[in-house]
Structure 1
C-alpha cells in the first residue's frame, strides 16, 4: 500500500472513510501541498482507537512561513495550538486543532516526509501487521489501555530499550527500511 495519497481511505473502514471526507472538506492536502503533506499514524493502518487523531507530517524548511500559513488557514478552528519544539535535535512545528469530529496534528520538520520517523514507523508497523495479522487485536487492546503505538509494538515484539528507536532497528533488520 502506498501512503503518498489518501485514496485508499475511500474504500477503508468507517473511520477511514470519514477521515477521507473530512480531510477533503478541510482541503488541507491542497492548501499545504508544497510541503508534501502525508497522513501518518494509526488511522491509515487501521489500528486507531476512539480519539485517535489525524497526523499529517510536512517537509518544511522555512518554519516561519509555515507558522504564518498554519495560523492563517486553521487558527480559527476549535482547539487550535501551535508550538515550536526541538524533537531529537530537529527544529519542529506541531499544530493541533479540531475539525468535524477529528483532531488534526500537523508535524513539520526540515526533512523529506519519507525520512521522518512518523512515516518510517507507520511503514514498519503496517508491514508487521501484514506479516502478522494476529497481532492487530493485541496492538489495539494495548492502545485502548492507553499505551502509545510504538510502545505497544515494542511490547508485542518483546523489544527492549527505547521503543521508537527499537522499532526502527527492527525495521532495518527485517529489510523494511534502510
Structure 2
C-alpha cells in the first residue's frame, strides 16, 4: 500500500515514534496553527529511517515571511519559555526561513519557502527515498539507518548505497 504523506493519519497507525509524533503534533495543534501555509511532515520519521535525535521536519509554503513569523508568534506555536532559533537563508538562490526548537522528546524544524510544499526538495527527496525503500526492501533500509547512525546525512547515505554522484540532485530524478 502506498502511503499518502499529505495526510497525517498514517502516523496514528505507524511505528511507535510516528505515533508519538502524531500525539505531539496534535497536542500542540502544530499543523492547525500552520494551516495557512500548507504544512507537511517531511524527512526521516514519515518513511521510518529516523534515528535517535531525528527531528520533525515540517515544511510550509511561505509567501510572506513577516506574516508567517507573526502567525507563529500570535498562535504561540512555540510555547512560552521554549527557546527557538530563526534563520533566514538562501538555498540555491531561494529565500528560505528555518525555525528550530524542541518540544518534549522531539527536535522540530519548521522550514518555509515560497513554493508549494509538495514541490519543495525536502518533500520530493522523501518521496524518492520512500520509493527506493519500497523497491530495495528491509535490508537496504537497515543499511541506510546504520549509515545515519554513523553520522551520514540521509541523502548522502542513499548516495553511498546507490553510487550517486550528487545525491541531492540525483534523488530528484527518481
Same fold (TM > 0.5): yes
Comparing 78-87 with 40-49, greater Cα deviation is found at 78-87
Residues 107-136 of structure 1: CA deviation (Å, up to 9, x unaligned)? 000000111000000000000001111210
What does 1:124-143 correspond to in 2, within 5 Å?
Answer: 124-133=128-137, 134-143=139-148
Residues 68-88 of structure 1: CA deviation (Å, up to 9, x unaligned)? 222342263533111111111
- Quick check: 1:23–1:29 contact (8 Å CA) kept in 2? yes
1:110 maps to which residue?
114
Looking at structure 1, the residues matched to 167 and 83 of structure 2 have their Cα atoms a distance apart, in angstroms, of: 29
| 1:152 alignment partner, SS class | helix
Please report the TM-score for the alignment, with normalisation by the length of structure 2.
0.93
1:71 maps to which residue?
73
1:40 maps to which residue?
42
Q: Quote the offset at 1:5 in angstroms.
A: 1.5
Q: 1:123 to 1:77 in 2, by over 3 A?
A: farther
2:153 maps to which residue?
148
- Quick check: 1:139–1:153 contact (8 Å CA) kept in 2? yes
Q: Quote the offset at 1:64 in angstroms.
A: 1.0
- Quick check: 2:33–2:72 contact (8 Å CA) kept in 1? no
Residues 21-59 of structure 1: CA deviation (Å, up to 9, x unaligned)? 001011011011010000000000000000000000000
Comparing 73-82 with 34-43, greater Cα deviation is found at 73-82
2:33 maps to which residue?
31
Looking at structure 2, the residues matched to 77 and 107 of structure 1 have their Cα atoms a distance apart, in angstroms, of: 21
Looking at structure 1, the residues matched to 107 and 25 of structure 2 have their Cα atoms a distance apart, in angstroms, of: 11
5+ unaligned residues in a row in structure 1: which ranges?
172-178
5+ unaligned residues in a row in structure 2: which ranges?
none
How many residues align? The count is 169
